[in-house]
A and B are shown apart, each in its own frame.
Chain A
Amino acid sequence: MTIEIESRRSVTDEAGRGVDELVVNIGPSHPSTHGVCRVIAHLDGEVVVKAEPVIGYLHRGIEKMAENRTYLQVVPLTDRLDYVGSMYANWAYCRAVERLADIRVPERAEYIRVIVCELQRIASHMMGVGASGADTGAFTAFVYAFDIRERIVELFELLCGARLTYNYVRPGGVSADLPDGWIEACRAVVRAAPARLRELDDLFFGNYIAAGRMRGIGVLSAEDAVAWGATGPVARGSGVPFDLRKDDPYSVYPRLDFDVPVGESGDAFDRGRVKLFESIESCRIIEQALDQIEAGPVKASGLPRLIRPRPGDAYDHIESARGSLGVYLVSDGSPRPYRMKVRSPAFCNLQLLGRLAVGHTVSDLVVILGSLDPVFGEVDR
């Protein structure tokens, strides 16, 4: 619910008394689990007049560090970019390297990549939806969402040994084949997940308190979404049906049948629900990929230990849980990248915070920040 504020009221009110604007600093350490974001909010009473996000508290210089590492050594750095979605962060980088160096990825590796990316998408959305729950006070929703996420993280642990930063998708394929019994374990998780997800939808989004806290909050129009470069659930929640898996298909997605959920009103509620329904669609994708996958190599053959791409540049992108995540690489023929640039969807989406929060209260500001789902490893790099 947007509260209309008469303009210029922050100078004097109707009785002619001066009303000071209160500047409140929120962050960089705050209970909302989105990470290190600082918001400088100018308030008129409790209503936000201007909100300015200040970022850079997690700027680690990954792009500069990549210039002193070989192409394979950069992969663990990409893990730490979007740390809630290491699998697809690795994948975006590997696609750029493969485009630059003309590496052909075997089919089994592409299927494995799709399976782990979609599993990661579910895990990431559970973090996003759960954090929205925590923001609105529904802590139990957070714990329920994390239960689903734990089962997926357990699968990843069976696959590559790590729970969070996997370093699994490598240029040319994946680092190791699926272990015995993994496909059955994955199938079990993916068969049980949609019911749990629908239960979460019912319990959290079906709750009138969550609806009251999130409906009509942070409404983003479709034109604004396109003009401000929003991608992912943030754009799809506003009715913009842009999904790279459908609009610029890559890997084996053309062979898989799935829908892209699109919201209507562009408020925080729709953004959250888009995430949840995307997770259910991801389960569908994974089941099809598990049916279609065949035996074969998981690494490109004849790949040198040191990848030396020809001089030039290449850009490639994937649809991550936050939007279109792309990596732009410039090579000078040496085994190290000359320049690596990460196009991070969370960075682009976060610009909208200042625009969406105006007219709402401080508690709504937190809800809007949660619905934009930023991950600061990616925003700050």
Chain B
Amino acid sequence: MSKAIIELRDVTRRFGGLVAVDGVSFSVEPGEIFAFLGPNGAGKSTTIKMMTTLLRPTSGRLLLDGHDVERAQDAARKAFGIVFQDSSVDNELTAYENMELHAVLYGMSGRKMRERINELLELVHLEGRSKSYVKTFSGGMIRRLEIARGLLHQPKILFLDEPTLGLDTQTRTMLWDYVKKLRHDQGMTVFLTTHYIEEAEDVADRIAVIDHGRIVAMGSTSELTRQTKTGSLEAAYLALTGKAIRDEEADATDKFRARVRSRRR
């Protein structure tokens, strides 16, 4: 167990009376592609926020590459790169400037930094657009830039929170090809969430299903289908979480975004 690169021990998070995450424990081995599935409001986002130091757990411990996210926060933060669900680049800056800002935040500098930025922009095929403002980019280009940025400081873990949401099929295929290549070439550990079950089935070594704040099942696709006596991961997932549609309370941010989106249409 000590060689796990991600480890959660009995992690709980309460919001007032609501228990969003309830005693969750699991670990991910180095080089694994691990998918985290669950319906809306199941505790997925809350867990990811705690793993990435955006939210403190009410109780329990989280370790990234052996570093406690609360007690050794900076070491834990250096251990991972993340692609957030929503775009988190600065649209008023160029692609290169976004990369440079990230590099400085992670303590990089000089020629090495510039070389690494160009290398990663090439990896995601944006080298020709490095001087363009991000506001001129398509959704898929922004996502590629964010992946390049997340990898800039050579993290051991890459978090992908719904990375393919709103992307076209070509970009999605390309994205998963990158992810597989990264694991193959560099032994990168990838922790992802997605609502597209077939994507998880395609790329993930192991899958954890969370519902009502608890892990309800964990294992490879074949283990989960065997356990639920179903024929596919999607059927296994529905058998585990039920068919009821969940209503999630939208917070102020979601409401605001929905408004902005509807205005843009």
Q: Do A and B come from one complex?
A: no
